[in-house]
Amino acid sequence: MKTLSLMMPLDMHLHLRDEEMLKIVAPLTSYSFSGAIVMPNLVPPVTTLEGVKEYRHRIKEAMEADDFEPYMTLFYQHYSREFLESARDHITAVKIYPSGATTNSEGGVVNFDIEPMRETLEAMSDLGIVLCVHGETMGFVMDREAEFMSVYEMLAVNFPKLKIIMEHITTREAVETLDKYENLYATITVHHLMITLDDVAGGMLRPHLFCKPIAKRPHDRDALLKIALAAHPKVMFGSDSAPHPKHKKESCGCGAGVFTAPIALQLLCEIFEENNALENLQAFVSDNAQRIYGVCPEYKEVVLVKRDFTVPQMYGEVVPMRAGEILRWSIERVD
């Protein structure tokens, strides 16, 4: 039977939430990944050194594996150089959200003026702290990411030594921008490699595929697929796996997020195999991220096998993508 071994998979964009939800979802990621960039959009957001340490502690407690590193992040505020120096050893990145752009982003940035951000971003640049960006304007939903490209360009030009991650990119425009500046990188989710707006709202309305940024057009998905399958050296896998309880996801006015953590590697195997690119999956799910972020994850080998796997209807109270459907790859074992 066909097998694939993935060394030290990394999820470079992950929502673990807190409390009961954290206990459900953390083990699902720590089982098959060596590490993950953990997003700080809790309520209230993670903005203090104490907050980072305590959240990391809760994550480690919720996990059932020692061989997993939660790479911690701060929710962007205008931080002083002094504070960032003290935080340096405890965080990997700072995540910036436009205010109101997604779940729990209300305390985010209202407008992207360079000057008020200069001290923080220069200090981050000097200290080697990565900037993760949720790149959407407040414009029309299908245009929000494309409209944000000018902000990425402004950040890239003004802080040329700062590593800037265009998070969960969804458009052809973002793919084009990626190569314009040396210090721009990107994460791509597994669901944005698979779905378009048609899957969310083209037939029935499907709340479990509703996420931000929303899935775009077929040509956008094709552009993402092209660089992911090639394991473009500036691109990393980041699931943006975001659990919401079933009752909230299916009630009127559901929150945004697709839950993929426990099935992401299996889905990626399917996609990369279908496109004859399995040999590039290792770089997409780990090597690129190690090089871009300069992280050295602990040893973990995930062996996948081409054997049908039926996705559970629920993990705890969370409905995963493809619930009840059959995937063609399974995780055989983790060494």
Cα separation values, 168 from 73, 200, 239, 291, 304, Å:
16, 17, 8, 19, 25
The single residue of 11, 220, 240, 287 carrying the catalytic annotation is 240
Shortest approach of its own copies to residue 134 CB, angstroms?
15
Query: For residue 75, what is the DSSP state?
Result: E
Residues paired with residue 70 on neighbouring β-strands, in sequence order? 36
Shortest approach of its own copies to residue 249 CB, angstroms?
8
Q: State how far the Cα of 142 lies from the Cα of 257, in Å rounded to an integer.
A: 17
**Residue-wise DSSP of 13-73:** EE---SHHHHHHHHHHHHTT-SEEEEP---SS---SHHHHHHHHHHHHHH-S-SS-EEE-E
Is 11 within 8 Å of 241 (Cβ atoms)? yes
Shortest approach of its own copies to residue 241 CB, angstroms?
18
Binding-site ranges for its own copies (CB under 8 A) = 140-142, 196-198, 200-202, 204-208, 210, 214, 217-218, 250-256, 319
Sign of torsion, CA 268 271 273 276? negative
Nearer to its own copies, 72 or 225 (CB): 225
Shortest approach of its own copies to residue 144 CB, angstroms?
8
Nearer to its own copies, 127 or 138 (CB): 138
Cα separation values, 279 from 226, 286, 317, Å:
14, 13, 35
Nearer to its own copies, 293 or 315 (CB): 315
Nearer to its own copies, 278 or 314 (CB): 314
Nearer to its own copies, 6 or 318 (CB): 318
Nearer to its own copies, 201 or 303 (CB): 201
Shortest approach of its own copies to residue 279 CB, angstroms?
32
Choose among 118, 126, 226, 247: nearest CA to 178. Answer: 226
What is the arrangement of strands in the sheet containing 301-305, beginning at the earlier edge strand? 3-7, 301-305, 330-334
SS3 of residue 309 by DSSP: strand
240 is catalytic: yes
Q: State how far the Cα of 33 lies from the Cα of 6, in Å rounded to an integer.
A: 10
SS3 of residue 301 by DSSP: strand
Shortest approach of its own copies to residue 108 CB, angstroms?
15
Catalytic residues: 240
